Amino acid sequence: MPSSQPNRAARACTAAAPFLSRLPIAALAACLAPALVHAQGSAAEQVVITANRTPQPLSSVLADISIVDRVEIEKSGAQSVAEVLARLPGIEFIRNGGPGASTSVFIRGGETRHTAVYIDGMRVDSQATGGAQWEQIPLEQIERIEVVRGPAAAVYGSDAVAGVVQLFTRRGKGPLQGNAALTLGSYATRQLQAGVSGAAGGFDYSLSAAHGRSDGEDARTAAVVGHNPDRDGWKRSSLQARAGVRIDERQRVEASLLASRLEAGYDDFTPGQDDESRHRLATAGLSWRAQWSEGATTRAQLGRTRSTYETQPSFYRTQTTLGTAMLQHEQRIGANLLSATLERRDDRLENAPDAFNAGFGGKRHQNALGLGWRADLGAHSLQANLRRDDDSEFGGKSTGSLAWGFAFAPQWRVHAALASSFRVPTLYQRFSPYGNPALVPESGRNAEIGLRWADKDSTLQLGVWRNRLQNLINFGAAGPCADAFGCYVNVGRARLEGVTLSGRTRLAGVTLRGSTDWHDPRNLSNDKILARRARRLASFGAESSWAGWTLGSEVQAVGRRFDNAGNTRALGGYALVGVYASKPIAAGWVLDARVDNLGDKAYERAYGYTTPGRSASLSLRWSSL
C-alpha cells in the first residue's frame, strides 16, 4: 500500500542513524523527507510579530520561527531565558556555572553576539561582550518568547546574523486580576512573584515584582586554576510595568518598563577569593500605533536600555546605554503589502578605571532605511526586504533578503530564502586596551529551504540551511593593540550549515513533541568545529492527563563538543531527563512539581565549570481568575 512507504523510509533512516553523520547534509534531508507524510504536530493558529516587525499569522510566515508562551515557560521549570531557548530546535547554550553566571546562546551555531535580542520591542545589547547578557534577563517577567532562526538584518539591521529573539512582558486584559507564585527547590532555591493586571475602557495595565535567591553550588571543579571551594549562589530582584491607552478607535499609546538586579558568585583566577558579579538591566519604551484604515498602519517607538556589569573584589565595571527610535508605515495595495521603516540607534560604552586600565569609553550611532514588500498570489507568497544602515564609524552597509513560499498541496508548503547580514565590532573590541580600530564588520550570506506540513492538530517542519560568515572577530595573540596579552582581529571565516526536523502531535490523549538537529558549525580558516558547539542536538517531550493531574516528561540530548578552537579538549555528549506534574488544588490554585536531571548525569557545558545534578522544585501558583 502507498501509505506504508513513509513508514519503511522512516525505519530505514532510524536503522542507518549511526552512519548518517558521514553523509552530506543534503542526503540527510532526502532520507528524512518521506517520513513527513505520517508525522503530526500542533497547528493551532497564532499571530507572530518578530519575522517582519508586523503582526501576521504563523502559517503565512516565510521563516523558521518558534513561539513559547507563559504556560510552556512554567512547565519547563527553567530558571533562565537561555534554558527555555535550549528546548527549541537549533539552539544550545553554555554557562560558566549556575543560573546567574555568564551565559552564551548559540542559534544555528552562530556566536551569541550574532543574535539580535529585544524586550517589548526595545533592543538589548552589550558594547563590551557583544550580544545580550542573557543572565541579566529575568525569566519570571517574560510572558511570551518569539524566535526567528536565520539572518534578519534586512529587517533589524546589525547583529541579526543567526537569528532574532523577541521577549514580551505581560499585557493587561479583561477585569482586574491578581497572580502570585512561590517556588522552592534544590540548592535552597526560593522565588516569589506577584502581580496585577487588567483593562478597563481604553486603558490596560500590568505590574509585577519578583525576588529569588539560591545558595547554589560550587561554580568550578577542583582541577582548574582559581577554584574556590565555596557555594556560588545568586539572588535577583525584578520589576515589570506596562500600560496602554486607546486614544480613539484608530490610535493607541503604550509605555513599558523592566528593571532587574542580579548578584551571583563565581570563581575567577585567584584561589580562595570570594568573587561576585553584579548585574543591572533596565529597559524603558514608549510606542504609538495608528490604524488609519484596514490597509494602512503607522507605528512609532522610542526605547532606551542600560546594561551594567560589575565584579568584586577584583574590580571591573562596564556599562552600555542604547537608545533607539523607529518609525514604520505599512500600506496594503491589493495583494501587496508595502512597508517603509526609518530607524536610529545610539550606543554608548563606559568602562570604569580598574587595576588593568585607566578607563575608556566611546559612542556610535546608526541611521537606517528599510523597505519591505510582501505579496500573496494564490498558492504562492513572495517577500523581499532591503535595508541601508549608515554607521557613524563604518559608513553605509546594505543588506537584503528574498523569500518564496508555495502551498503545493493541502496542509503542505515549501519555502526558500536568501539573506545577507552583518555585525559591526563592539566599542570594546575597537577601543579597549585589547582593541583594534582597524576592525571591519562581520558579514554573512545565508540560503535555506524548508518544508512544512500542518493540520488542525498537528505540524511537522524540515529545514536545511547554510550560512557563510566572513571577517569573524576573534581574540588572538599579541598584535595591533597596546596590550601584549592579546588583541581582537578579523581572522575568521565560518560555515554554519545544518538540518532541523521538528514536530508535535497528539496521539491517544498524549501530546508529543520533538526536534532533532544535525549541525556543522565549522571554522573554515582551520577546518575545525567552532568551540562549544555540538553537531547533534535533540529534544523530545510527552504530556498527558490522569486523575486531574497533568503529567509530562522530556529528554534533552547534546552531542560531543570541543571546548577550544583547536579541537584538542573534548566535552562529552549527554542526555538529561526531566519529569513534571501539575494539578489544580482549589479555585485559582495550581501545584507544580518537577525533577530535572533525573538520572543525576554528570556533564559539562564548559570545561572546568560544574552543572546541576538531580534537582527538584515545587511551585504553588495563584490567579484570581
**Residue 483 pLDDT class (50, 70, 90 cuts):** confident
**For 192-210, what is each residue's pLDDT tens digit?**
999 999 999 999 999 999 9
Residue (of 365, 479, 395, 481) closest to 127 by Cα position: 365
Read off the pLDDT band of 45 (50, 70, 90).
Answer: low
pLDDT (tens digit, 9 = 90+) per residue, 223-250? 777 788 888 999 999 999 999 999 999 9
pTM of the model: 0.91
In 96-200, at which residue ranges do the beta strands (DSSP E only) sit? 103-107, 115-119, 122-124, 142-149, 163-169, 177-185, 189-200
Question: 87 near 145, Cβ under 8 Å?
Answer: no
Residue 306 has pLDDT above 90, yes or no: yes
The residues near 54 (Cβ < 8 Å, ≥ 6 apart) are 297, 328, 330, 339
Structural contact between residues 366 and 352, judged by C-beta atoms closer than 8 angstroms: no
pLDDT on residue 568: 95
CATH class of 39-623: mainly beta
Compute the C-alpha angle 153/154/156, nearest 5°.
Answer: 55
Domain ranges in the chain? 1-38, 39-623
pLDDT for 481: 86
How confident is residue 132, by pLDDT bands cut at 50, 70 and 90? Answer: very high
Cα–Cα distance, 308 to 311 (Å, whole number): 10
pLDDT reading at 88 higher than 70: yes
Ramachandran assignment for 269, one of left (phi > 0), alpha (psi -120 to 50 degrees), beta (any other) = alpha
Radius of gyration of the chain (CA): 24
**For strand 570-571 and strand 549-558, is the pairing parallel, antiparallel, or unpaired?**
unpaired
